[in-house]
Amino acid sequence: MRWRLGLVDSGAPPGLPLAAAGFATDGARGAVGADASGHGTRIARVLTAGSADVELVLAQVFDCGRPSSAAAVAAGIDWCRAEGAQLVHLSLGLRFDRAPLAAAVGRAIAAGCLIVAATPARGAAVYPAAYAGVIRATGDARCAADEISHLGAATFGGCVRPEPATAGGGASVGAAAVSRALTEWLRPGAGFGEAVAALAARARYDGPERRGPAAPEGEQTS
């Protein structure tokens, strides 16, 4: 059975087959445009580079480097859910909790959809990663391309450069590596508890990575 994977981001590589695609901004929807920032392209390549049979559903929520609003991200999550995504991946994080975003996450979880969202390796919580029922993911320099780490509870780390040509490592790419591992290790339709248990059981490292002083990783927007 094929995983239907929703990507909420800036776009996807030209020529990559998409099961569905739409642009979402503050609830409005239209045709997708070019990936001006290249962020979604990097993430889509990581998500689809594994051995799992994955079909990608793209919700384009920003086209110039930043999500336009929490409402746009919420609309993207809703759209992916409506298109039958069993997993929604967000390599982004918003600094503040917003009711429309929390509601969209709740609807997706209630529908049986897994959500994986990026979180900084250190620093303040971001959303939707901070919501209950969301798998939190970040980058972990210890991990090779086929490895993840269990950083505690439902928080995992992934390889920051799972492909030699991958640029822009950090929490975004590491989070995508966690989602890719999930599609390779679990059957479509797996629940939150099953997904967390399976990732924890197969993690190469247990516990946080030791780091010196550094700025937090990840995309954070207001």
pLDDT of residue 32: 84
Whole-model pTM: value is: 0.90
216: in domain: no
pLDDT of residue 219: 45
Radius of gyration (C-alpha) of the chain in whole angstroms: 15
Structural domains in the chain (count) = 1
pLDDT more than 70, % of the chain: 86
CATH of the domain at 128: 3.40.50.200
90: β partners: 117
Q: CA-to-CA distance for 141 and 126, rounded, in angstroms?
A: 21
Average pLDDT of span 113-136: 96
221: in domain: no
Residue 23 banded pLDDT, cuts 50, 70, 90: confident
Average pLDDT of span 102-124: 96
Tell me the per-residue pLDDT of 138-160, one tens digit each, with 9 for 90 and over: 999 999 989 999 999 999 999 99
| 168, pLDDT greater than 90 | no
**How is residue 158 annotated by DSSP?**
E
218: in domain: no
Average pLDDT of span 131-135: 98
Q: CA-to-CA distance for 102 and 115, rounded, in angstroms?
A: 12
pLDDT of residue 207: 95
pLDDT of residue 65: 60
Distance from the first to the final alpha carbon of the chain: 38
201: in domain: yes
Domain extent for 51: 3-208
For 28-39, the three-class secondary structure string (H helix, E strand, C coil) is EEECCCCCCCCH
